[in-house]
Amino acid sequence: MSNHKTKIIPGKRIDWFTGVNMTFLVLIALLCVLPLIHIIAVSFSSSTATAAGYVKLWPVDFTLESYKFTAGREGFWISMLNSIERILLGTPLNLLLTIMVAYPLSKERNQFRFRLVYAWIFFMTMLFNGGLIPWYITLKELGLLNTIWALVLPGAVPVFSIVLLLNFFREVPKELEESAVIDGAGQWTTLWRIYVPISKPAIATLALFSMVDHWNSWFDGLILMGDPSNYPLQSYIQTIVIQQNFTAVSREDILSLAQISDRTLRSSQIFLASLPIIAAYPFLQKYFVKGIVLGSVKG
């Protein structure tokens, strides 16, 4: 068959299309990566080289001054710790609740008669929400403002993850559960000894979803934490990089340092804020592809 093919389509024509196509795709791919590389280059360059526009994709007059400056800010470390605390509390809670809600909902109707009622209660939150203001007022009246729980509890039940996991649970062979029940296992034992171990890849995916979400969230921190010392890192970066509100970092402080400018400083903060994501990227890519395929293309 391959002989047949080479006779009909001359090799040269394949090369022409493949060449143009690959060039195009590689260019687009570069457009996705080069902006970040430029920012990294700026963050390691001196302020004069940056201001003169010499910095493209490689640092000019290599310096670590902006990083030293950032590392010297107390606010940076405090917000970093807040982010870590948020992930350490938020992700296990997300996983625990996802598992505990997904399991009953994955049962057939004859095994759990109230399944549909519960499923609708959870599904409804994907269809309708009260909007920002009632949500904010609710948290305020619960006394959660300015506490870490305001960043952890409102999103503790990720309905979309529950949907993914319950569909995964349904694929678990019924025979496993049946034999467990014969051995006298109750629902809790069945869940933790059979369903959870077998669903490890799916749960790992959801853990990554949850960690990335918690790391990347910034708006809740911004509006729910009145005191900037309670900001998670992304909220802290937001005020400095986007609002360019340097109250946390006084302007005289910056100007007194000749080696750094607003621009190199901001670039270093952007890079630091994205560093964990970049470091975890190989895992993220592997598991997210699985997760997406799990969720979207199930026919």
Written as six digits, the tokens of 178 are 């049946």
Question: Rule CB under 8 A: which of 116-175 touch other proteins?
Answer: 118-119, 121-123, 125-142, 153-157, 159, 162-163, 166-167, 173-175
CA distances from 186 to 20, 68, 96, 111, 191 (A): 61, 56, 18, 13, 9
Question: Rule CB under 8 A: which of 80-119 touch other proteins?
Answer: 97, 100-101, 103-105, 107-108, 110-114, 118-119
Question: Rule CB under 8 A: which of 183-202 touch other proteins?
Answer: 184, 186-188, 191
Q: Does 227 bind other proteins (CB under 8 A)?
A: no
Stretches 58-66, 79-87, 246-254, 279-287: which one binds other proteins (CB under 8 A)?
Answer: 279-287
- CA-only gyration radius of the chain, Å: 25
The least CB distance from residue 270 to other proteins, in Å, is 4
Q: Does 35 bind other proteins (CB under 8 A)?
A: yes
Q: Does 29 bind other proteins (CB under 8 A)?
A: yes
Among 6, 10, 16, 25, binds other proteins (CB under 8 A): 25
Closest among 76, 99, 211 to 152, alpha carbons compared: 211
Q: Does 181 bind other proteins (CB under 8 A)?
A: yes
* CA separation for the pair 272, 69 (Å, rounded): 13
Written as six digits, the tokens of 271 are 């890079």
Q: Does 279 bind other proteins (CB under 8 A)?
A: no
The least CB distance from residue 147 to other proteins, in Å, is 14
The least CB distance from residue 271 to other proteins, in Å, is 9
